Amino acid sequence: MNFVQLWQQQPRLCLAMAQPRPNHAGYVSRDHAHPFFELGMVLAGSCTWVLGRQRIELQQGEFILLPPRRAHREIVNHGTRARLAWIGFDFNPASPVAAPAWSSRAVPAGAWTEALTQLLLNAFEENQSGELGAHERADLALREILILASRAAETPRRAPRQRAPDHSTRIAGSAARYLTDNLAQPLSVQAVARYHSLSAAHFSVIFKRHHGKNPKAFLHAARIARAQALLAEDGCASRKSPPPAAMRMPRIFAAASRPPLAGRPRHSARRRQLELPDRTRALGDCAG
């Protein structure tokens, strides 16, 4: 279904209904089907369309298009304020129109919610009226309803605009990047605040509001994190340094842990010279 089909096929109004006011007493219809297209819209509150095993919940400003002979029922929970409107239509049987791809699902009316709501109410009033030209006005309202419904269903949804960051957010982000990129430089809060044309006190308030800490604490934490990262990368140098236990080892244990003196003749000769007087004294004692 598109705009050309709507104008060339001459849609005919078959049904127009609208609840006069929101109802909070609950509503459950029986399973039923129509031999024509039916467009139902939630003007206020919410309602659930049950299509066999499929349940489709519509909120205010959403509509659903059902193809001919599609069994369904509407359910409004007790205590839920809801106001509904329906419109039924068909085309010339000689030129049948297939159901569009967006039928049998909830479609938000978006920017056309107010216009669709008013057109549905106008079609209902004109269809009930017996004044001259009321039937023609109801047909015109039907065409406008179908055109707006097709436009709402087939127009690509625009991505929501992202709010641009305010001035304070830009200042806090720029200052944090500057401090992080210049950790090795002698930085001062006054210089950074002066760069952004702010006093040091005002700059600290803005910075803490966005980062949870003042600039000095942020810079201190960033330097510690950077130092820890450098130490983790320099693992080889850490493994080459002697363990703390060996550095505190007593001298006697350190001497005991040395390799034997084999292969070092100078120390062996010195030891023999020290032991020679003791041996001479021992021989003298024996001779006496």
- Outline where the chain has alpha helix (H): 3-8, 113-128, 134-154, 167-181, 189-195, 200-211, 215-233, 235-240, 244-247, 251-256, 265-287
| Gap between the Cα atoms of 119 and 167, Å rounded | 45
- Which pair of tokens denotes residue 143? 């065409």
In tens, the pLDDT along 160-216 reads: 566 556 778 888 888 888 888 887 778 788 888 887 788 888 888 888 888 888 888
**Under a CB-based contact definition with an 8 Å cutoff, are residues 76 and 82 in contact?**
yes
**Under a CB-based contact definition with an 8 Å cutoff, are residues 74 and 27 in contact?**
yes
CB atoms inside a 10 Å sphere around CB 237 = 9
The continuous run of DSSP H or E covering 84 comes out as strand 83-90
Provide DSSP, 114-177. Answer: HHHHHHHHHHHHHHH--STTHHHHHHHHHHHHHHHHHHHHHSPPPPPPPPPP-HHHHHHHHHHH
| Gap between the Cα atoms of 58 and 60, Å rounded | 7
| Gap between the Cα atoms of 50 and 31, Å rounded | 9
CB atoms inside a 10 Å sphere around CB 249 = 15
The continuous run of DSSP H or E covering 28 comes out as strand 27-28
Q: Is the pLDDT of residue 143 over 50?
A: yes
Residue 119 pLDDT level (bands cut at 50, 70, 90)? very high
| Gap between the Cα atoms of 128 and 135, Å rounded | 9
Domains belonging to the chain, first-starting first, are: 3-154 (2.60.120.280), 167-235 (1.10.10.60)
pLDDT at position 6:
60
| Gap between the Cα atoms of 123 and 277, Å rounded | 133
**pTM listed for this prediction:** 0.54
Arithmetic mean of pLDDT over the chain: 79
56: number of CA atoms within 13 Å, CB side?
21
| Gap between the Cα atoms of 159 and 171, Å rounded | 27
- Which pair of tokens denotes residue 114? 């107010």
**Under a CB-based contact definition with an 8 Å cutoff, are residues 86 and 72 in contact?**
no
In tens, the pLDDT along 75-96 reads: 998 878 889 999 999 988 877 7
**Under a CB-based contact definition with an 8 Å cutoff, are residues 95 and 3 in contact?**
no
**Under a CB-based contact definition with an 8 Å cutoff, are residues 87 and 42 in contact?**
no
Residue 56 pLDDT level (bands cut at 50, 70, 90)? very high
